[in-house]
């Protein structure tokens, strides 16, 4: 698991700016993950990166991966963990704005 997180961090740090954000599926493909549960593997790696970034007071590099739902946002688990880690407000009405700011910070600091 740690290997996936480290590899995913490297992928997100080196990805061309115009390819970001990438979807969970694109991340799974880039990491050459194999079924079953490829998206769950990506999610676990992203959560690990969020814990690492929170501990180091860095922007969440995980903000650079989004759901393919079309709204350009990560899945609900991203927001739940961001709140749990004290980075996002508990008020869900503020989540999209908080995410957009976090995305920019992650993009600019990588």
Q: What is the pLDDT of residues 89-110, one digit of tens each?
A: 999 999 999 999 999 999 999 9
What lies within 8 Å, CB to CB, of 35 at 6+ separation is: none
Does residue 84 register a pLDDT over 60?
yes
Q: Rounded to whole angstroms, how far apart are CA atoms 50 and 69?
A: 21
Residue 3 has pLDDT above 90, yes or no: no
- CA–CA gap between residue 101 and residue 32 (Å, rounded): 30
**pLDDT for 34-83, tens place per residue?**
899 999 999 999 999 999 999 999 999 999 999 988 789 999 999 999 99
Domain map (residue ranges) of the chain: 2-109
pLDDT averaged over every residue in the chain? 95
């Amino acid at each position: 698991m740690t290997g996936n997180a480290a590899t995913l961090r490297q992928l997100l740090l080196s990805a061309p700016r115009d390819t970001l954000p990438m979807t969970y599926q694109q991340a799974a493909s880039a990491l050459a993950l194999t079924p079953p549960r490829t998206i769950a593997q990506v999610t676990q790696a992203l959560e690990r990166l969020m814990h690492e970034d929170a501990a180091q007071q860095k922007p969440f590099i995980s903000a650079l991966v989004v759901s393919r739902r079309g709204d350009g946002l990560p899945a609900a688990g991203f927001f739940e963990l961001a709140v749990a880690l004290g980075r996002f407000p508990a008020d869900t009405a503020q989540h999209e704005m908080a995410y957009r700011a976090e995305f920019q910070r992650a993009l600019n600091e990588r």
